[in-house]
């Protein structure tokens, strides 16, 4: 395998650029032309197993790997001969333990895995006393691989003592492709074990875990280039040859880049499977009360923000459980807008255990004010309201750290017209619709093209800037949001 690090990708400008996002619910890919033209797209969904009793949230890493192969081949089946470049984005906070041959010893743990809640509560004082948050930028949470490793150590020590490598899903896929374990700085910064100032594994935390760094992947910058696929793997993926690969970044930071670019004062609000609000900084941004996380975006930038485990997954749960099978999201959106505003019906959206909450992880979802008169879509509308209200409470916290001049939305749930109208009503600054494309994939394209992501590309790929407009009665919804916060007791993530 050969490696190089370059910041100038001009030699690839006239060729195709394949961007791949290894997400929570599925793997997505877009093959772009150098002018931003979309040559082809592909998506493959995969399963997600969540156990309410134990808090276990796992996936099959081999199923995800197969999906990665499928979307790559499908994208390249059309005009793939022009391909010169592949860049990878990946979900944050994933962990899979491997044996010496690189085979999984256990399922993949995801960001939604809450089994380590008790470990976090016990570790809390030590974690902050030793200043580990100030080094890693990660508030202590069950979502991080750090906490998940502690859980394995205490609950399955035989497995903990004998695994050969602890890697993310991106690192696992790269090991299957190239035979070596690589972790980019961005994904590594979401483990709770990476020092965002030194860009290295934090030795003090590894010592606490009794974990030698040889059992972790090799760290590489986001812009790191490599090649060296075997001929058989080149053929399996349908590549035109041994093209250049870039390690890439994590999906959250890439989503911010794809939505808000490098603009100061612009916050991105994403409601995908989970939810997050983010802003950009040219240096690590931490908070005195440890409520912010801060991850690496690329060699010159960081993204900081606040996240929640309860986003589109809450809406999806209700749709799958209570609405007719096969109903389209377009029809769902129309029916939500046809329902009548109810100032007395509320939903607390903590269906899934939250990752922070100052160590108070055991919160629940609940309706308040439900009556016999309420229909299935009345309940769905108030569920969507609850999810949006939770996001707004995160935005309020983010604004206490840095001035927000504009908000850009992304994620599948924000594409519902009702959601955009509600956000525009309650957010005091202009709210822009993000692109209908996957924001992480646009962010990955920006990493590749750098300053040559020109005006023509921006117009084609980014959402339209919109003027501030109030879609609903602002005073009515402002009052309802205020009451919702009182009901929650400010327990937002």
pTM: 0.90
Cβ(183)–Cβ(167) under 8 Å? yes
Q: Is the pLDDT of residue 149 over 90?
A: yes
pLDDT digits (tens, 9 = 90+) for 282-304: 999 999 888 899 999 999 999 99
Instruction: Compute the average pLDDT of residues 30-38.
Output: 88
| pLDDT score recorded for residue 1 | 39
Q: How far apart are CA 76 and CA 42, in angstroms?
A: 10
Better-predicted residue by pLDDT, 214 or 455 = 214
Read off the pLDDT band of 10 (50, 70, 90): very low
In whole angstroms, give the CA distance from residue 174 to residue 165: 13
Running DSSP on this structure, what letter comes out for residue 107? P
Say whether pLDDT at 151 is over 70: yes
Least confident of 1-10, 205-214, 270-279, 385-394: 1-10
Whether the pLDDT of residue 473 is over 80: the answer is no
At residue 77, the pLDDT reads 84
Q: Which pLDDT tens digit goes with each residue over 227-252?
A: 999 999 999 998 988 799 999 999 99
- Give the lowest-confidence range in 262-266, 286-290, 458-462: 458-462
Using an 8 Å Cβ cutoff, are 382 and 345 in contact?
yes
Crossing angle between the packed helical segments 329-338 and 376-399, to the nearest 10 degrees: 90
Please give the residue that has the higher pLDDT: either 86 or 452: 86
Distances (CA, A) of 355 to 43, 222, 398, 489: 28, 26, 17, 17
- Residue 15's Cα: distance from chain center in Å? 28
In the structure encoding, which two tokens stand for residue 330, read together? 């377009």
Higher-confidence residue of 13 and 386: namely 386
- Residues in Cβ contact with 58 at an 8 Å cutoff, skipping those fewer than 6 apart: 49, 107, 108, 109, 110, 113
Q: Which residue has the higher pLDDT, 192 or 439?
A: 192
Q: Mark residue 451 as left, alpha or beta (left: phi above 0; alpha: psi -120 to 50; beta: remaining).
A: alpha
Q: Model confidence at 359, in pLDDT bands (50, 70, 90)?
A: very low
Main-chain phi, psi angles of 197, to 5 degrees: -95, -40
> Domains, the chain, ranges and CATH?
2-252 (3.30.420.40)
Q: What percent of the chain has pLDDT over 70?
A: 90
User: Counting beta carbons within 10 angstroms of the beta carbon of residue 367, is it exposed (0 to 12), middle (13 to 18) or buried (19 or more)?
Assistant: middle
Q: Is pLDDT at 463 greater than 70 in this prediction?
A: no
Half-sphere exposure at residue 288, Cβ-oriented, CA atoms within 13 angstroms: 2
- The answer to whether residue 322 scores a pLDDT higher than 50 is yes
Phi and psi of 42, rounded to 5°?
Answer: -155, 150
Query: Which residue, 365, 343, 344, 362, is CA-closest to 353?
Result: 362
The Cα–Cα gap between 458 and 195 comes to: 34
In terms of DSSP bridges, do strands 346-349 and 301-308 run parallel, antiparallel, or are they unpaired? unpaired
pLDDT for position 311: 95
DSSP string, 159-196: HHHH-SEEE-HHHHHHHHHHSS-EEEHHHHTTTT-EET
- Over residues 210-220, the mean pLDDT reads 98
Give the mean pLDDT of 476-493.
Answer: 85
For residues 213-224, give the mean pLDDT.
Answer: 98
The 3-state DSSP composition of the chain as helix, strand, coil percent (nearest 5) reads 40, 25, 35
Q: Is the pLDDT assigned to residue 464 strictly greater than 70?
A: no
């Amino acid at each position: 395998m050969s490696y190089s690090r370059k910041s100038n990708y001009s030699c690839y400008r006239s060729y195709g650029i394949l961007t791949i996002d290894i997400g929570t619910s599925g793997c997505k890919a877009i093959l772009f032309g150098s002018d931003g033209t979309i040559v082809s797209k592909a998506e493959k969904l995969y399963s997600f197993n969540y156990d309410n009793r134990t808090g276990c949230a796992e996936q099959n890493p081999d199923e995800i790997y197969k999906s990665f192969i499928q979307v790559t081949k499908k994208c390249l089946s059309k005009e793939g001969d022009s391909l010169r470049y592949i860049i990878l984005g990946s979900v944050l906070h994933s962990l899979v333990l491997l044996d010496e041959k690189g085979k999984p010893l256990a399922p993949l743990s995801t960001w939604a895995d809450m089994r380590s809640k008790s470990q976090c509560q016990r570790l809390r004082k030590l974690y902050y006393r030793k200043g580990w948050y100030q080094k890693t930028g990660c508030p202590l949470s069950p979502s991080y691989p750090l906490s998940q490793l502690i859980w394995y150590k205490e609950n399955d020590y035989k497995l903990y003592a004998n695994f050969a490598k602890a890697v993310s899903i991106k690192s696992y896929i790269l090991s299957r492709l190239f035979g070596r374990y690589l972790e980019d700085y961005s994904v590594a910064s979401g483990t709770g074990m990476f020092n965002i100032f030194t860009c290295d594994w934090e030795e003090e935390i590894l010592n606490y875990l009794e974990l030698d760094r040889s059992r972790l992947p090799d760290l590489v910058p986001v812009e790191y280039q490599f090649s060296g696929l075997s001929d058989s793997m080149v053929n399996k993926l349908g590549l035109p040859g041994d093209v250049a690969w870039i390690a890439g970044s994590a999906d959250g930071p890439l989503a911010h880049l794809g939505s808000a670019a490098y603009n100061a004062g612009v916050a991105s609000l994403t409601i995908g499977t989970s939810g997050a609000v983010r802003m950009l900084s040219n240096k690590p941004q931490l908070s005195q009360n440890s409520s912010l996380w801060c991850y690496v975006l690329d060699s010159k930038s960081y993204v900081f923000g606040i996240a929640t485990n309860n986003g589109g997954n809450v809406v999806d749960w209700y749709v799958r459980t209570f609405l007719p099978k096969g109903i389209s999201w377009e029809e769902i959106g129309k029916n939500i807008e046809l329902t009548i505003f109810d100032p007395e019906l509320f939903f607390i959206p903590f269906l899934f255990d939250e990752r922070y909450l100052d160590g108070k992880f055991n919160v629940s979802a609940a309706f308040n004010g439900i009556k016999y008169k309420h229909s299935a879509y009345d309940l769905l509308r108030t569920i969507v309201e609850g999810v949006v209200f939770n996001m707004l409470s995160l935005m309020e916290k983010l604004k206490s750290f840095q001035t927000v001049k504009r908000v850009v939305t992304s994620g599948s749930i924000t594409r519902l017209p009702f959601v955009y109208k509600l956000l525009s009503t309650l957010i005091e600054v202009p709210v822009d619709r993000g692109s209908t494309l996957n924001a992480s994939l646009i962010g990955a394209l920006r990493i590749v093209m750098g300053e040559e992501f020109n005006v023509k590309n921006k117009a084609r790929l980014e959402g339209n800037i919109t003027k501030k407009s109030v879609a609903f009665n602002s005073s009515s919804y402002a009052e309802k949001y205020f009451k919702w916060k009182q009901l929650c007791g400010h327990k937002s993530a």
